[in-house]
Amino acid sequence: MSTTTSTNPAVQAIISGSAPHPARLAAASGMLPLPQSDLLEVLVALRQSEDSEIATAAKGTLEELSPEDLLSAAKSDESAGSVLEYIAILPETDRQIREALILNNNTPDESIASMAASTSDGSLLELIATNQQRLVRFPEIIEAILANSDRPPEADRRARETKREFFEKERGAQQIAQELRTRGKTAAAEFFESATTEGLSIADAWLLAEHIEVSDADLDSSWLPSERYEDLPPETAEERAANLKRVLEFEQTEKGEVPPERLTMIRHIMFMNVKDRMKLAMKGDREARSILIRDSNRIVSTGVISNPRITDQEVENVASMRTVTAEVLRLIAMNRNWARSYSIIHALVRNPRTPVPTVINTLPRIHSKDLKNLTINRNVSEAVRRQAQRLFEARTGA
């Protein structure tokens, strides 16, 4: 079954093959009323269909696309990676389209590497070389630039500098950290120094440092009085792999297909050791927090809600999740500031993962109409429904 970026059920059914043949043929002919991004994803998938009639129709529809259509897709943040990959391999696309592909974060790294290897346009090679984060994430692009005889001096210089800084280790981590401080990224520099000292590669540490926003001076580790960094238990490779699988499954369940860049970051994070994951949980930005809140290690996930930059809206979202540990939900309920937010405590009492004693203690603060709804909510435990019923009857005299 092919994977899809679109969350449209009709698109998923067509690409997976579960839709009826007439519907798939209509889609291949461009006759279904779908948004342009969805239609292109369908067409690109169906051009490789085992049904020759459908594959021929899809190829014909794609060939009818105008340069304007291709440019619009190449620029769009909604375009699937498969669509951008398809456009990248077309033999006669103009410079504008290729430039848009290079600038689009959804374009697969492999496509950029292929373009870097084959283009004779020096200005495109320069544009590719300016995206240092992509080069570090996918070093094959660096090698493709350096192997291209048409590379201009500026592209050559940038590629060689990135290779030297992040892969040849001719410059120390301290020097890179100093550059981060010069850019005003003190928290990132602190993380980078400690992460590389403790064994994380320079490339991985740099990638993660981009998501650090809390300085050591702003941390409050009083929530962890009995467990120091040095005392955190080690994990086996199997445990880390299981944790990664768990986080990815939850991500796919809640958000659908995981974009390539997000997938890369999740893998980098979940294969870090417990100590580094906990540091990232306490110091990372919203994206890092949204990954680590699902960590199966209690110390890591609770570190997220101790992050001083976490917002009330994030906490409300966490309070609704069924993919977080019960300890996280209990600690949210214990926080005086968050307990003042009705939307947060209401989410907690409706979450079947929240410990029953925590819910029982919170119920007196729930509005009567919401108590009544809880009495018939089959997602919560019988004990919670009974207590909600008692409180509702006591308030209303029923």
Per-residue DSSP letters for 73-96? HHH-TTS-HHHHHHHHH-TT--HH
225 pLDDT above the threshold of 50: no
Residue 211: what pLDDT? 87
Query: What are the phi and psi torsion angles at 264 (to 5°)?
Result: -60, -45
Q: What is the mean pLDDT of residues 290-308?
A: 91
98 pLDDT above the threshold of 80: yes
Higher pLDDT among residues 166 and 393, named by residue = 393
40 pLDDT above the threshold of 70: yes
**Residues 393, 397, 398: CA angle, nearest 5 degrees:** 60
Domain locations in the chain? Answer: 1-79, 171-310, 324-398
Residue 170: what pLDDT? 43
Q: What is the mean pLDDT of residues 219-230?
A: 57
Q: What is the mean pLDDT of residues 68-82?
A: 93
Residue 226: what pLDDT? 46
39 pLDDT above the threshold of 90: yes
**Nearest-angstrom CA–CA distance, 109 and 141:** 8
173 pLDDT above the threshold of 80: no
Average pLDDT of the chain to the nearest whole number: 88
89 pLDDT above the threshold of 50: yes
Which residues lie below 8 Å from residue 58, measured CB to CB, with a gap of 6+? 28, 42, 43, 44, 46, 47, 49
Angle of helix 36-46 relative to helix 67-75, nearest 10 degrees?
Answer: 100
The Cα diameter of the chain in Å comes to 85
Q: What is the mean pLDDT of residues 278-291?
A: 91
101 pLDDT above the threshold of 90: yes
**Nearest-angstrom CA–CA distance, 49 and 56:** 9
* SS3 assignment, position 244: helix
Taking the mean position of all CA atoms in its chain, how far away is CA 279?
19
As given in the structure block, the two tokens for residue 169 are: 């280790």
Residue 212 pairs with which residues in a beta bridge? 284
**Nearest-angstrom CA–CA distance, 36 and 384:** 47
What pTM did the predictor assign?
Answer: 0.57
175 pLDDT above the threshold of 90: no
Q: What is the mean pLDDT of residues 315-325?
A: 93
Residue 153: what pLDDT? 92
Burial of 38 (0-12, 13-18, 19+ CB in 10 A): buried
**pLDDT tens across 41-60, in order?**
999 999 999 999 999 999 99
As given in the structure block, the two tokens for residue 179 are: 């550059």
Q: What is the mean pLDDT of residues 342-349?
A: 96
Residue 230: what pLDDT? 56
As given in the structure block, the two tokens for residue 215 are: 């300085």
The residue among 104, 161, 105 whose CA lies nearest residue 129 is 161
308 pLDDT above the threshold of 80: yes
Provide the pLDDT confidence category of residue 194 given band limits of 50, 70 and 90.
confident
Which residues lie below 8 Å from residue 133, measured CB to CB, with a gap of 6+? 207, 210
